[in-house]
A and B are shown apart, each in its own frame.
Chain A
Amino acid sequence: MTNTDGSFLVERPVAERVLTAALARGGEFAELFAEDRHSVSAVLDDGRVEELSSGRDRGAGIRVVVGDTTGFAHTSDLSAKGLLAAAEAAAGVARSGGGSVVVGLHATSVANPSVVAVDPDHVPKARKVELLERADEAAHAAGAAITQVTAGYGDGRRRIQVANSDGVLVADDQVRTRFSVSCVATGDAGMQTGYESTAFTMGFELFDTVDVEEIARTAARRALVKLDARPAPSGELPVVLASGSGGILFHEACGHGLEADHIAKDASVYVGQVGEQVASPLVTLVDDGTIGPEWGSFAVDDEGHAGQRNVLIENGVLTDYMWDFLRARKEKRPSSGNGRRQSYRHLPMVRMTNTFLLNGIESPDNVIAQTPSGVYVAKLGGGQVNTTTGDFVFGTVEAYLIENGRITEPLRDANLIGNGPEILRRIDAVADDFAMGPGTCGKDGQSVPVGCGQPTLRLTGVTIGGTAA
């Protein structure tokens, strides 16, 4: 979607007044971030549609930068009076006296990479609820051992506007839709769980191509398979990650460590590594906020910078970090379109968008066949990293043993642990079956939607945190 001057949450003359006031005490840079979001979510649990929930939230955050110091205040009052009060609070970090800059804004428009065909707001709530019921039925039909099903639907529309003292005035309109199913299966050895979700930056047309019953069956299968699972091994083994399932590996193993705020504070193992071979030559890693309807896409980031494609690692060589406005300003270079925030109540920081490994040339079947023994991870769960040490973990939600080049017995859930720079060098096979998936990335208490992707790949050794000797 594009925006014209007339559709801003805060009209241009008001935004200009607010920014001028924000700089009145001598700030060097001021920014107004306005946001209006509303969402609908519905949950079916234990066979019942428990509730439909609607949410509305709007407001603005104002920041003023003086030297290395940022002042920030936010308000839910988008009137000129409310915004001016917030501007004054944010300007408190500036020395009094200051300048008399008058801010003039020039509206630009950036097309959103995703075109919304069916606005979820125009879809009757009953149709959203019906999806949940279909998923519930399909999950239960997958096996008598399925004892509990939770299905969740959500859609949200987030309109944002960024205006700053560099004259930027730009807006974005982001529509996101998601669906998920969790199942519990009960067997002789206790309960196991399975989960599957889909999420895109698009409207209700998502369900023209995504079959909620298939999502439900996948979640159910993951739970059922684990009823007979053996404990995961304990120790270091080769690991094959199925395509699409393991993008989180790169998100944790190097993505966070390539965020310029960690770099600036010497809190990353990748400091000073640009131009160096940091990964196997099979690794080309990209962060791209512009790919169609992926979960981490947008027209402009939350600092008004257009989303872009950034190659982070090319054939194993580190090419660049990811940048937000503040870090880029300090280094006198452009932002890379990675300045994001959870809401108007938060300061932006360097964040990933859609982060993924490009295809290799092998066939996925060959990668497995050429692995005498190890673990096949069909689906990874979440992860966490300490960027300073590079140590990271990621959990499995569907995994199997590989024996003699074949996928054999299912394994119970476990975390895998590794060290980013070491793991990147241990990638010795990359297949040609690229796929992506959605995730929620948490950093410093803020959550944002991200995409992760990779083709099937093999790691020569990862520590698997199971209990079996």
Chain B
Amino acid sequence: MTDVEQTTAPPTPQESELGELAQRVAAAARAGEEIEVYVGRSVEVDVRAYDGQVESLSSASSAGVGIRVVVGGRQGFAYAGSLDGDVIEQTLADARDNVSFATPDEHIALVHPDGVAPVALDLWDDTVLTTPSATKVDIALDLERRVRGADPRVRQVASADYGDVASEAAIATSTGVLASARRTVCSLSVVAIAGEGADSQTGVGFSAARGPDGLDHDKAAADSVERATRMIGATKARSGRCAVVLDPRVTSTLLAIVSSALSGEAVTKGRSFFAGRVGEEVAVPAVLLVDDPTDSRAFGASPHDAEGLACRRNVLVDQGVLQGFVYDSTSARRAGTTSTASAVRGGYASTPVAGCRALHLAPGQFGAEQILADLDGALYVQSVTGVHSGVNPISGDFSVGAEGLIIRGGVLAEPVREVTIASTLQRMLRSILHIGADVEWLPGVAAGQTLAIDDMALSGA
């Protein structure tokens, strides 16, 4: 069946060992100096199947360290992709050397433990490490086969991937913080190409879970096939204004953009359209928007933030009224408040910034079908493109490429492609018609659900 044998077993992570390492390095702090040490380590496997064969099988382990040194409100940072003793020593020396070039800022200091106990979260599934590579290979091959055989209109499976990662990280500071956590994530992702005649369309399906057993193979395969086949024959729609219904994945993307305007850092630096609007109605009254990394269903769930404080539930918008922002320690001091334990970082190579991890909208009453039933002539948006080039979370301008289906008589009708939908984020939040009951926890910083928004500009032919 496959040519692949099991590769060498990855080492089992020992998170306490990382914490000790971080603590040992942070203990080198001299008088008047604060040191934060972040160490991370991960093992991952990626399999790509194509045309009944394994196209690639990658297995890898990575580790690295990021060190912040703060002296008198000046911060220096250095990182390295290794946990070797001499490399860490050199990294600490680099970080120290970098301190003197920063401008002193009274708001910059490392956090001290604030007494909040972390919520116990189980984000780890051992089977990610114990499942043989051969089984992972079979999962990818099976996914490819399913999609290829699902519908005669499926011409190609551009990629069918299985991937998993088991990671652990620890933070220690000379100010007394010590935190560590580990997590696993595995995922399926498949791109189907379906067509008739000269017309080819694509559909992406995926599933993510903490371990291989949690993956929904049927859904990943069916989603990719349905999304590709229903777009066959798509044409450019006429320009005009209409309501749009966002697929849960698109809603998740939208919330992630909104989250950058809710960052305390963006707000304190005058880079958010929400700045100065706490207490005002910024969305329709049905909106309850919460960032809750203590909810273990969220892929971004975490016991502590990237500065080592225990994560907590933060209500950002309630009944449409802006309640506040997410802060790391620096942006909180700048705003004259306390950290909401919302520091995030991209890994050992970057410094902490304020951000959301597990944003979600409180579900409404209706599922997707009932929401559609209410709409005629609206555009159901299956996917969007150009989010990084067409959405500006500072000005709020929103313009993205879209593909999807027109809703006629309450059901999905003809497919539409090569159009854009545009508005401003401010206006979109106040034009929400329905929030779906169908919350879907997706990888990334925000959950998704069906979301209907009124009166957007559709640009097409």
Residue B131 lies at the interface, judged by CB distance under 8 Å to chain A: no
Partner of B396, one of A56, A190, A394, A463: A190
A72 touching B56 by the CB < 8 A rule? yes
Cα separation A124 to B6 with both chains bound (whole Å)? 50
Which chain B residue has the least Cβ–Cβ distance from A346? B58
Which residues on B sit within 8 Å (CB–CB) of A386? 202, 385
B77: A residues at CB distance < 8 A: 51-54
CB atoms of A48 and B270 under 8 A apart: no
**Closest Cβ neighbor of B423 among chain A residues:** A467
What residues on A are CB-neighbors of B101 within 8 Å?
42, 49, 52, 125-126, 129
* CB pair B80 A417 closer than 8 Å: no
Question: How many angstroms between the C-alpha atoms of A68 and B459 in the bound complex?
Answer: 43
Asked if residues A413 and B57 are in contact (CB atoms below 8 Å), the reply is no
Q: Are B401 and A267 in contact (CB under 8 A)?
A: no
Contact with B along A36-78 (1 / 0, CB 8 A): 0000001011111111111111110000001111111111100
List the A residue with the shortest CB-CB distance to B241.
Answer: A469
Q: With a 10 A CB-CB cut-off, give which of B62, B191, B397, B461 has the most chain A CB atoms.
A: B397
Taken together as a complex, chains A and B put the C-alpha atoms of A55 and B66 apart, in Å, by 9
Mark interface residues in A370-396 (1 if CB within 8 Å of B CB, else 0). Answer: 000000000001111010110111110
A412 contacts B80, C-beta separation under 8 Å: no
Say yes or no: A51-B76 contact (C-beta < 8 A), given A73-B7, A466-B399.
yes
| Neighbouring B residues of A93 by C-beta, 8 Å | 3-4, 54, 57
Interface pair B273/A413, CB less than 8 Å apart: no
Assess whether B219 is interfacial by the CB under 8 Å rule: no
Which of the candidate stretches B87-95, B373-381, B440-448 sits at the interface with the other chain?
B87-95
Nearest B residue to A419 by beta-carbon distance? B418
Whether A277 is near chain B, meaning CB under 8 Å from some CB there, is no
Q: When the two chains form their complex, are residues A347 and B395 in contact, meaning their CB atoms are under 8 A apart?
A: no
B270 close to A56 (CB less than 8 A) = no
Q: Is there an interface contact between A417 and B401, defined as CB atoms closer than 8 Å?
A: yes
B271, A393: Cβ atoms under 8 Å?
Answer: no
Interchain CA distance A341-B220 in the complex, whole Å: 28
Beta-carbon contact of A45 and B395 below 8 Å: no
Q: Is A88 an interface residue (CB 8 A)?
A: yes
Does A184 belong to the interface (CB within 8 Å)? yes
**Whole-angstrom distance from the CB of B455 to the nearest CB of chain A?**
10
B98 at the interface (CB under 8 A from A): yes
B3, B54, B460 — most chain A CB neighbours (10 Å): B3
Q: Does A236 contact B (CB under 8 A)?
A: yes
Asked if B340 is at the interface (CB within 8 A of a chain A CB), the reply is no
Quick check: which of B171-179, B284-292, B386-394 contacts chain A, the rest being far away? B386-394
**Quick check: B389 and A383 within 8 Å, CB to CB?**
yes
Q: Is B423 within 8 A of A51, CB to CB?
A: no
* Known pairs A69-B55, A125-B101, A184-B270; A234 contacts B386 (CB<8 A): no
* Contact between A48 and B5, CB atoms less than 8 A apart: no
Partner pick for B158 among A191, A265, A381, CB 8 A cutoff: A265
Q: In the bound complex, do residue A58 and residue B81 qualify as a contact, i.e. CB atoms below 8 Å apart?
A: yes
A468, B102: Cα distance in complex, Å: 45
- Nearest to A41 among chain B residues (CB) is B77
CB-defined interface of B86-118 with A at 8 Å, one 1/0 digit per residue?
A: 010011001101100111010000000000000
Q: Is A235 an interface residue (CB 8 A)?
A: yes
**Bound Cα distance A203, B430 (Å):** 50
Q: Are A465 and B98 in contact (CB under 8 A)?
A: no
Specify which chain B residues have a CB less than 8 angstroms from the CB of A44 in the assembled complex.
103
In the complex, which of the residues B7, B60, B401 contacts A391, with contact meaning CB atoms closer than 8 Å? B401
Q: Confirm or deny: B133 has a beta carbon within 8 angstroms of a beta carbon on chain A.
A: yes
Bound complex: CA of A422 vs CA of B386, how far in Å? 19
- Pick the residue among A58, A345, A393 that contacts B420 (CB under 8 A): A393
A147 at interface, CB cutoff 8 A: yes
Chain A residues within 8 Å of B315, by CB: none
**Looking at the complex, which one of A148, A394, A466 makes contact with B270 (CB distance below 8 Å)?**
A148
Whether A232 pairs with B399 at a CB distance below 8 angstroms is: yes
State the Cβ distance, B168 to closest chain A Cβ, in Å: 16
Cβ of A460 under 8 Å from chain B:
no
Choose one: A57, A236, A467; the contact of B457 (CB below 8 Å): A467
Look across to chain A and name the residue whose beta carbon is closest to the beta carbon of B73.
A48
Most buried by B among A50, A94, A347: A50
Counting chain B CB atoms within 10 Å of each CB, the highest count among A193, A236, A412, A415 belongs to: A415
Cα of A74 to Cα of B271 in the assembled complex, Å: 40
For residue A267, which residues in chain B have a CB less than 8 angstroms away from its CB? 156, 158, 191, 193, 202
> Would A388 and B158 count as touching, CB distance under 8 A?
yes
Nearest opposing residue in chain A for B334, CB measure: A46
Pairwise interchain contact B87-A413, C-beta atoms closer than 8 A? no
A154 — which chain B residues lie within 8 A by C-beta?
Answer: none
Task: Indicate whether B403 reaches chain A with its CB closer than 8 angstroms.
Answer: yes
Neighbouring A residues of B390 by C-beta, 8 Å:
381, 393, 395, 413-415, 465
Q: A129–B103 Cα gap in the complex (Å)?
A: 10
Which of A192-232 touch B at CB < 8 Å?
Answer: 192-193, 226, 232
The reply to whether the CB of B78 lies closer than 8 angstroms to some CB of chain A is: yes
Cβ–Cβ < 8 Å partners of B105 in chain A:
48, 50
Name the one of B78, B159, B457 contacting A234, with C-beta atoms under 8 angstroms: B457
Q: Is A142 an interface position by the 8 A CB rule?
A: no
Residues of A within 8 A of B55 (CB): 68-70
Q: Is A292 an interface residue (CB 8 A)?
A: no
- Listed from nearest, the 3 A-B pairs whose CB atoms lie closest are A465-B420, A395-B389, A415-B390
6 A-B residue pairs with CB within 8 Å = A52-B101, A190-B396, A267-B156, A388-B200, A393-B420, A463-B420
Interface residues of chain B, those whose CB is within 8 Å of chain A, are 3-8, 50-51, 53-64, 75-82, 87, 90-91, 94-95, 97-98, 101-103, 105, 133, 155-156, 158-159, 191, 193, 200-202, 236, 239, 269-271, 273, 349, 351, 385-386, 388-390, 392, 394-397, 399-401, 403, 417-424, 457-461
New contact pairs (4) apart from A125-B98, A235-B239, A235-B461, CB-CB < 8 Å: A42-B101, A47-B103, A74-B58, A93-B54
